[in-house]
Amino acid sequence: MNDRQYFDASSKLPTQQSYIHGRYHHSNTGQTFETIYPGNGEAICAVEAAGQADVDYAVESALEGFKIWSTTHAAARGKVLQRAAAILTERNMELAQLETLDTGKAISETSTVDILTGVEVMEYYAGIAAAIKGDHLDFPPNGFAVMKREPLGVCVGIGAWNYPIQIAMWKSSPALACGNSMIFKPSEYTPLSALKLAEIYSEAGLPAGVFNVVQGERETGSLLVDHPQVAKVSITGSVPTGKAVMAQSANTLKKVTLELGGKSPIIVFDDAQIDNAVNAIIPANFYSTGQVCSNGTRVFVQRGIYEQVLEQLVVDAKRIKIGDPFDPSVHMGPLSSNMQLEKVKAYLQAGRDSDARCLLDVDLSDSEFAAQGYFVGPAIFADCRDDMPFVAEEVFGPLMSVLPFDDEAEVIERANATELGLAGAVFTMDIARANRVANSLQAGSVWINDYHALPASVPFGGYKQSGQGRENGAAAIEHYTQVKMIYTNLGDVEATY
């Protein structure tokens, strides 16, 4: 492993800009925002916020890029993605350190997951780019129809702060494989790594304008969503933001993909293999300091094994090492912002004040690192009720709620009693029950005896208010292309009247 130190907790960077038409672009708005290292609350750098003129330029550039890219042979598009994936892999450690600096996520995660799971998806679309195809129907004796799959045009990607570069890669890879151009706006909390992705795409041979990065807060996102020459918006973010983007997209009838929040159930039956269930439940709650949309934060455990599972969860959660995210032995870094810290602290307090049984509530008040950064420890509450706000609402922090249940019908009803439907899991050795429950869960991804297994070839996305459309797999191709029917008549056209 390349263990050179490219960035560390004390890294300061010059003012960052947008990246448009193959180079950095200075914005004249005069507005900047700061990005912070969550490990100590200090600013890493200022970032120039893009305004209307910058957005117009980015769209103009992306339209130019689209002209070239959409008429480039699909196999050649795949080769550019393949080259970009190779450079990203080569630079994994440097990019992981940058991501740790910007998000506060532990380097043990960013160096093994964030970039590499993006690369996996990029390689998948590089591989299938040349296989994207339409259809053909014969209408003898003189007619036939060709159904072509054409790219949409300029697509906008808008990212959340929990997996910044991975989200940028998950959105741009299928968009570009299909022949679209993309303008990506990273979250204002984590604006840095998308710029590296843009540089790497250029280095890999992507024509100017095919992948632009526009920096800014929600106002900049809104300018992109409003732009009449943008064909599609794919956003990863919270449910209220998704609703606002969808409503705004209706003005120009843009296509939308929404990857939003979750409050996913994990159901553990009495006959489950307990070690496997616990090994899945722990990271499904505490990975990325709990800031994962598809986390399984409502843990339903059948009464026969309830106390045994609780005991094991606490033992395993106590092994989580919290601290300096740049220390490779640390599992859990800080939350990604002060705003998120305040929100999670309020939910933790609500848990303590409720009549739920608090099994674990790691106190960090004596630790030096916690005084500087946005740290909270993992918490486990048992005997929770479905209607407790910290059980029902998305916390996006390391707070696990455990709820006892008695039978299958009851737990299915309770698991589905939410407006969200991103993911879910069932642990049981009874294959019939496993499949009955999996079929009954209202969620876009369901695992049987596992959690968070997400190969690049399977679709990911939400039911209900967790979203619309799908990322990854062949499914995303449908969301980045449109079908054109061309009917050819080989004979004569007869007079109608």
CB of 26 to ligand NAD, least distance (A): 21
Contact positions with ligand NAD (CB under 6 A) in 343-372 = none
Among 22, 174, 237, 421, binds ligand NAD (CB under 6 A): 237
Using rule CB under 6 A, residue 261 touches ligand NAD: yes
Using rule CB under 6 A, residue 336 touches ligand NAD: no
Q: Are strands 255-259 and 32-37 parallel, antiparallel or unpaired?
A: unpaired
Using rule CB under 6 A, residue 244 touches ligand NAD: yes
Q: Which residue is nearest to ligand NAD (CB)?
A: 221
Using rule CB under 6 A, residue 270 touches ligand NAD: no
Report the candidate in 297, 295, 390, 394 with the shortest Cα–Cα distance to residue 348: 390
Residue tagged active-site, from 48, 259, 394, 408: 259
Give the three-class secondary structure for 71: coil
Shorter beta-carbon distance to ligand NAD: residue 151 or 159: 159
Q: What angle do CA 22, 25, 29 make, to 5 degrees?
A: 155
Q: Inter-axis angle of helices 274-286 and 306-317, to 10 degrees?
A: 50
Annotated catalytic, 471? yes
Q: How big is the site for ligand NAD, counted in residues (CB under 6 A)? A: 30
Instruction: Show Cβ contacts of residue 121 under 8 Å, excluding neighbours closer than 6 positions.
Output: 169, 170, 173, 174, 456, 472
Rounded Cα distance between 153 and 142, Å, is 33
Binding segment for ligand NAD among 134-142, 147-155, 183-191, 377-385 (CB under 6 A)? 183-191
Residue tagged active-site, from 188, 394, 408, 471: 471
Residue tagged active-site, from 155, 178, 293, 384: 293
Shorter beta-carbon distance to ligand NAD: residue 209 or 397: 397
Among 214, 260, 266, 310, binds ligand NAD (CB under 6 A): 260
481: left (phi over 0), alpha (psi -120 to 50) or beta: beta
Using rule CB under 6 A, residue 374 touches ligand NAD: no
- Report how far apart the first and last C-alpha atoms of the chain are (Å, whole number): 77
Contact characters 138-167, ligand NAD, x per CB under 6 A: --------------------xxxxx-----
CB of 236 to ligand NAD, least distance (A): 5
Q: How far is CA 167 from the centre of its chain?
A: 5
CA Rg value for the chain? 24
Shorter beta-carbon distance to ligand NAD: residue 277 or 476: 476
Which strands, in side-by-side order, build the sheet including 481-489?
Answer: 135-139, 143-151, 481-489
Give strand ranges (E) for 397-444. Answer: 399-405, 420-421, 423-427
Using rule CB under 6 A, residue 396 touches ligand NAD: yes
Among 38, 221, 378, 421, binds ligand NAD (CB under 6 A): 221
Rounded Cα distance between 8 and 341, Å, is 22
Using rule CB under 6 A, residue 18 touches ligand NAD: no
Contact positions with ligand NAD (CB under 6 A) in 89-108 = none
Is residue 305 within 8 A of residue 278, CB to CB? The reply is no
Binding segment for ligand NAD among 3-11, 74-82, 182-190, 348-356 (CB under 6 A)? 182-190
Among 222, 252, 442, 482, binds ligand NAD (CB under 6 A): 222
Report the candidate in 277, 342, 265 with the shortest Cα–Cα distance to residue 306: 277
CB of 310 to ligand NAD, least distance (A): 26
Shorter beta-carbon distance to ligand NAD: residue 158 or 301: 158
Using rule CB under 6 A, residue 236 touches ligand NAD: yes
Annotated catalytic, 171? yes
Residue tagged active-site, from 48, 105, 120, 171: 171
Is residue 295 within 8 A of residue 450, CB to CB? The reply is no
Which H or E run contains 416?
A: helix 408-416
Residue 153, number of CB atoms within 10 A of its CB:
17
Is residue 213 within 8 A of residue 237, CB to CB? The reply is no
Q: What angle do CA 128, 88, 32 make, to 5 degrees?
A: 115
Q: Tokens in use for 488?
A: 């050819």
Rounded Cα distance between 381 and 215, Å, is 39
CB of 36 to ligand NAD, least distance (A): 14
Among 104, 351, 467, 469, binds ligand NAD (CB under 6 A): 467
Q: Which residues bind ligand NAD (CB under 6 A)?
A: 158-162, 185, 187-188, 217-218, 221-222, 225, 235-238, 241, 244-245, 259-262, 293, 394, 396, 422, 462, 467
Catalytic residues: 171, 259, 293, 471
